[in-house]
Amino acid sequence: MRRRIANAAPKQPASKTVDSLQRGLEVLRCYQPGEDVLSVAELAIRLELPQATTLRLLMTLQAHGFLRRIPDGDLFGLDVGCLLVGQAFLSRSTLVRKARPVLQNLANRFNLHVILCVPERKQMLVLAHANGKTANTLPLGAGLSLPVATTAIGCAWLWSQRPIAQGDWIAQLRNNAGTQEDSSQVAKIYLAFHDIERDGVCTSYGGWLEGVAMMASSFFLRDGSTAAIGLLKGGSKPGGVSFDPECSLALREAAVDMSRT
């Protein structure tokens, strides 16, 4: 499979950013699907800020309708302001609108879960999800973050990046290594690259959720950025989950279709 290279995203001058606004946005990034509320202490740990500073940020967001405080406690949950922003994005996104029928067709055809992901910092962010009628129940949905290095959808996206970006990821893994498991993950990434070069897709087992196999392929959008589409299937043990032989071809065709977005 011929490699195309993603365009590098332009960097914004630091002088044009507002630190206080950035800190507030970082608070909202801390919440993941399924996390209805988080404590001040947990948020302070995730933000790497003092609890007093974290509490001031939370109360500011509460005052503007982005967070709600649980009565008689130090717990905060997302409020309607976040819903408005998220719904506005999903309803106006050409990529999401184009992806939904493509994902649902795959989900119906193979009775699997299908996701569309884009990079979000050091993770892959789910933008859209579809599932077959009797597919195993999985905790998937728009807004979920998946790891890059340990999932097929992350490796498929990483394969499409410039060599220097790939090198940074590999170097980070090696710097954090120290266990046999960390070292073997680097080898798995290179194996995924090899599979994509040969077959156009790569697979993984676990890496995000135990007992879940994933097959993925990346594609390029018209603006030069990249996204990835993946099939997911639940199972009981490594090697106990297999995809229909037609999944690979169907996934590649779906990626080609999406690349025209």
**For residue 130, what is the enclosing H or E element?**
strand 123-131
How many percent of the chain have pLDDT more than 70? 87
For residue 209, what is the DSSP state?
S
Mean pLDDT for the chain overall: 86
Written as one letter, the residue type at 261 is T
26-43 pLDDT tens trace: 998 888 777 889 999 999
Buried-exposed string 201-212: b where 16+ CB fall within 10 A, e elsewhere: bbbbbebbeebb
The 10 Å Cβ neighbour count of residue 229 is 27
Strand ranges in the chain using DSSP code E only, listed in sequence order: 37-39, 67-69, 75-78, 113-120, 123-131, 145-147, 202-205, 212-220, 226-234
17 vs 38 pLDDT, higher one: 38
Q: What is the pTM of this model?
A: 0.78
Q: CA 213, CA 205: separation in Å to the nearest integer?
A: 4
Mean of pLDDT values over 134-140: 87
CATH number listed for the domain at residues 93-258: 3.30.450.40
**Complete edge-to-edge strand list for the sheet that includes strand 67-69:** 37-39, 75-78, 67-69
Q: CA 141, CA 125: separation in Å to the nearest integer?
A: 10
Q: CA 98, CA 100: separation in Å to the nearest integer?
A: 6
Q: Where are the domains of the chain?
A: 14-85, 93-258
Mean of pLDDT values over 118-130: 91
Reported CATH class of domain 14-85: mainly alpha
225 vs 4 pLDDT, higher one: 225
Mean of pLDDT values over 218-231: 93
* Torsion sign (Cα): 141, 145, 148, 150: negative
